[in-house]
Chain A
Amino acid sequence: MVEMASGEAMATWLPIIWIGLLGAAVALYVVLDGFDLGIGILFPFSPEEQDRDVMMNSVAPFWDGNETWLILGGGGLFVAFPLAYGIIMSGFYLPVIIMLLALVFRGVAFEYRWVSKPHHRWWDIAFAGGSITAAFMQGIILGGLLHGLPVKDGHFSGGMLDWLQPFPLFVGIATVAGYALLGTTWLVMRTEGEVAVQAREQAPKLLLAVLAAMTIVSLWTPLAEPRIWDRWFTLPNLFYLAPIPILTAIAAVTVWRGLANHHDSTPFFGTVAMFLLGFAGLAISTLPYLVPPTLTIWDAAAAPSSQLFMLVGTVPLLPMILGYTAFVYWTFRGKVKPGEGYH
């Protein structure tokens, strides 16, 4: 009896622990790769070659490690929730594959741009195009997932172009704007001169756009989905959840004031806070569903013994990984100056 009870407790708690870990990995990915994808999105607005060199140098030592979190996101979903992994990947078949190809192009463009100078025009286009496309597709996948996927017999049962709807496309555009905001505030923090001045001018416009997008998504989702309305706008939930929009507004004001008062770091960290709060808001809207409106985290979970076996290793390994990552960021600390680097 004791064994059965503990088995049931594991089946209840392990999926909760894993959705927490997976959520943390995805949030880290969004913030970390968000700012370096943002640099690519901003490329078309900085036509000068020297400015582009500085922008690229500011993220160059980190992008490879940042993208490893994307592998952990995909791999983690496969490990902890294999059923949801199969459904989500086949449901967003085209956006996922286009995103991956955009990342291939962009990752290599990062490197070949320097080799091909002075004939690097095409790699500039590949870098910007790849970054914009990857961000747009990530937004589409997020929007489509919030909207929900039809499932039959444990498989995705919709069409290949189901994601081609106003809401996912809107979230796609919002994601591009959001990553661009992370990119500008990163440049404010890590660069000097012309690049930093321009980023400080671009950031407030992007901030307004991102706030507008967050407001629209916050109204659109509860109006479209009754379960999301019930989650947020019933008592007592309304009181418990009110801090999230309030803190988001405070973070936005911090970013705005930091930009106006010539602070270097507060705009970036304020933007990160906005992203994390927005992410938390989406999680509150969606949980306990992993594939709304049918599959909860418990429906989609791997066998408890699989989740436990993986958890035993993750507990010591994840802090070590965070340690390496911090070490790399610390090793390559400091502002990037124009003309620095390998070119």
Chain B
Amino acid sequence: MDLDAVFLARIQFAFTVSFHIIFPSFTIGLAAFIATLLVRWRITGEERFQRLAKFWTKIFAVSFAMGVVSGIVLSYQFGTNWAGFSKVTGNVLGPLIGYEVLTAFFLEASFLGIMLFGWNRVSPNLHVLSAVLVAIGTSLSAFWILSANSWMHTPAGHEIRDGIAYPVDWFAIIFNPSFPYRFSHMFTAAYLTTSIVVLAVGARYLVQKRFEEDARTMVRMGLGMVAILAPLQLVIGDLHGLNTKEYQPAKLAAMEAHWNSNEPADFILFALPNKERNGNDYEIKVPIPGLASFVITHDFKGTFKGLNDFKPEDRPPIAPVFFAFRVMVGLGMLMILMGAVGAYLWVRGTLFQSRRYLTIVQHTWPMGFIAILAGWWVTETGRQPWLATGILRTYDAVSPAITFNAVATTLILFVIVYTIVFSMGVYYINRLIDKGPSGAAKDPPRGQPTRPLSAAEDATREAIIGAN
């Protein structure tokens, strides 16, 4: 297989996996949010919690279906395009993915049907339990897949014989060095992303003066989470960075565009990394000497490895990692600001009257998604040129028989199908939000409850007919 085909296969995987991650990052948090609403409904008996749970369940159903169909593709792509990956790492990673299917996918798929359509068929408590089980399923799924992914970054608990990885210690494999940090970071990111969406939707209704009682509940729950999680995420991210310094120094050097390990690093806001002269062009720095060193080593005079310590063929692509990292951190700072200002207004008792704050916040719903994508691009591009660090290079993992034309054809097909199917899904979700909780939360019809998405359809059709 030639270089161009490898490059296309990488583009294809980046495209399908980036598209996929959008939906689970939303549904992990949303499942927990819905379960919380339903539990509060059972405890307090207040109708608004049930109404909100029904409303968000419809949006959950659409997102979940898109997560499932795009996820099936990934479980086969490891083999179609990356046969070398399954050959070399299959002994170690196979069981982790197998446990994801057995503990998480079946739990989600089975109880989702009851959560969506069981209103008239099972008792309220069993129904709430189903929602809780779906939330547990999404979390278990994240646990296993992030463990597998972390092992690719920081392999442990294995031995190599004839170029193939064999398991030695399963505990060390599952809880490999970067896993606790990656799991906490991604899990917090998923909850943060969902909280921002809930907050933004609540703010949108308050600005429009619609569904105000429900909107206030959404704003309070969403803002409460953002105010706590956004600063917490900064701390977790810092710890994750320290882990990267220890285990993947080349990635960290690329994140900071740091070349020379002998001098403390300044905090670079913008630069164009230049591979030709091993340095940066057009650097713009924060005027505090050694600030990046302080962030990374917690000492203004501290040093850490620079890109010059690595041979060019062992370095990740620098510019994508550097810029994606800045996008993620920048958005994280804005989230902290959004949470802090909101908390201040809340304490002063003027949150729901503060039109300027709510008007801005209603447009912030994509922030979490963009930050998550940027974060994944940092960590996955930063892992290059390795697929599994120190064990398998990406170039060696590709299926040898796959031709340029075959990868190009399927890439075009993926782009076409995903664009059609997913843009319509996003369009339907936006319609649902426009319709709002009261309109969407009708009693489920009698008779045989049907498809996972049919709850969404009902409201969406009304929205479309209403709009026409």
Q: Enumerate chain B residues within 8 angstroms of A277, measured Cβ to Cβ.
A: none
Interface residue SS majority, chain B: helix
B355: Cβ under 8 A from any A Cβ: no
Q: Which of B81, B103, B448 has the most CB of A within 10 A?
A: B448
Known interface pairs A155-B399, A341-B450, A342-B458. Does A83 touch B90 (Cβ–Cβ under 8 Å)?
Answer: yes
Q: Enumerate chain B residues within 8 angstroms of A318, measured Cβ to Cβ.
A: 102
Known interface pairs A114-B454, A342-B454. Does A156 touch B83 (Cβ–Cβ under 8 Å)?
Answer: yes
Complex Cα gap A63–B117 (Å) = 14
Q: Is B114's CB under 8 angstroms from A306's CB? A: no
Q: Enumerate chain B residues within 8 angstroms of A71, measured Cβ to Cβ.
A: 71-72, 75, 101, 105
Q: In the complex, which residues 280-299 of chain A have their Cβ closer than 8 Å to any Cβ of chain B? A: none
Indicate with 1 or 0, residue by residue over B74-89, a CB within 8 angstroms of chain A CB atoms. 0110111111111100
Q: Is A104's CB under 8 angstroms from B69's CB? A: yes
Kindly report which residue of chain B lies nearest to residue A91, judged by CB atoms: B401
Complex Cα gap A87–B80 (Å) = 8
Say how far B153's CB is from chain A's closest CB, in angstroms. 20
Known interface pairs A321-B106, A324-B107. Does A157 touch B94 (Cβ–Cβ under 8 Å)?
Answer: no
A340: Cβ under 8 A from any B Cβ: yes
Q: Is B451's CB under 8 angstroms from A90's CB? A: no
Q: Is A64's CB under 8 angstroms from B450's CB? A: no
Q: Is A303's CB under 8 angstroms from B166's CB? A: yes
Say how far B120's CB is from chain A's closest CB, in angstroms. 11
Q: Enumerate chain B residues within 8 angstroms of A159, measured Cβ to Cβ.
A: 401
Q: Enumerate chain A residues within 8 angstroms of B95, measured Cβ to Cβ.
A: 79, 306, 309-310
A112: Cβ under 8 A from any B Cβ: yes
B91: Cβ under 8 A from any A Cβ: yes
Tell me which of B285-293, B331-339, B406-414 binds A: B406-414
Say how far B458's CB is from chain A's closest CB, in angstroms. 5
Q: Enumerate chain A residues within 8 angstroms of B452, measured Cβ to Cβ.
A: 60-61, 64, 111
Q: Is B110's CB under 8 angstroms from A302's CB? A: no
Q: Is A68's CB under 8 angstroms from B167's CB? A: no
Complex Cα gap A62–B101 (Å) = 17
Q: In the complex, which residues 311-343 of chain A have their Cβ closer than 8 Å to any Cβ of chain B? A: 313-314, 317-318, 321, 324-325, 327-328, 331-332, 334, 336-337, 340-343
Q: Is A306's CB under 8 angstroms from B406's CB? A: no
Q: Is A64's CB under 8 angstroms from B102's CB? A: no
Tell me which of B39-47, B356-364, B420-428 binds A: B420-428
Say how far A98's CB is from chain B's closest CB, in angstroms. 8
Known interface pairs A89-B76, A89-B79, A111-B65. Does A331 touch B399 (Cβ–Cβ under 8 Å)?
Answer: no
Q: Is B453's CB under 8 angstroms from A111's CB? A: yes
Say how far A191's CB is from chain B's closest CB, in angstroms. 11
A166: Cβ under 8 A from any B Cβ: no
Q: Is A111's CB under 8 angstroms from B454's CB? A: yes
Q: Enumerate chain A residues within 8 angstroms of B455, measured Cβ to Cβ.
A: 342
Complex Cα gap A105–B401 (Å) = 28
Kindly report which residue of chain B lies nearest to residue A77, judged by CB atoms: B79
Q: A61-B450, A68-B105, A89-B399 are in contact. List 9 more A-B contacts (CB 8 A).
A: A60-B450, A103-B69, A104-B72, A105-B421, A114-B451, A158-B401, A325-B110, A337-B448, A342-B450
* 30 pairs, CB–CB < 8 Å, chain A vs chain B: A56-B450, A60-B454, A61-B117, A61-B452, A67-B72, A71-B71, A75-B94, A75-B98, A78-B98, A79-B95, A79-B98, A83-B90, A85-B86, A86-B83, A88-B79, A89-B399, A91-B401, A93-B399, A96-B79, A96-B80, A97-B410, A115-B461, A309-B95, A324-B107, A324-B110, A327-B110, A340-B447, A342-B450, A342-B454, A342-B457
Interface residues of A (CB under 8 A from B): 56-57, 60-65, 67-68, 70-72, 74-80, 82-83, 85-91, 93-94, 96-98, 100-101, 103-105, 107-108, 110-112, 114-115, 117, 154-160, 302-303, 305-306, 309-310, 313-314, 317-318, 321, 324-325, 327-328, 331-332, 334, 336-337, 340-343
Interface residues of B (CB under 8 A from A): 62, 65-66, 68-73, 75-76, 78-87, 90-92, 94-95, 97-103, 105-107, 109-114, 117-118, 121-122, 166-167, 170, 399-403, 405-406, 409-410, 413-414, 417-418, 421, 424-425, 428, 445, 447-458, 460-461, 464
